[in-house]
Amino acid sequence: MNALHQYLFDTYRAAQLGEPTPPAPGTHDIAVLRSVRDRRRFERVLAGRPARGGLRAALHRRLRPRAF
**Contact by Cβ (8 Å): 45, 55:** no
State how far the Cα of 24 lies from the Cα of 40, in Å rounded to an integer: 27
Query: Do 22 and 11 contact (CB within 8 A), yes or no?
Result: yes
Single pTM value for the model? 0.55
DSSP character at residue 36: H
List pLDDT tens digits, range 6-36. 999 999 999 999 999 999 988 899 999 999 9
Cβ atoms of 22 and 7 closer than 8 Å: yes
Cα 56 to Cα 66: distance, rounded to the nearest angstrom: 17
Render pLDDT for 36-47 as a digit per residue (tens, 0 to 9).
999 998 998 999
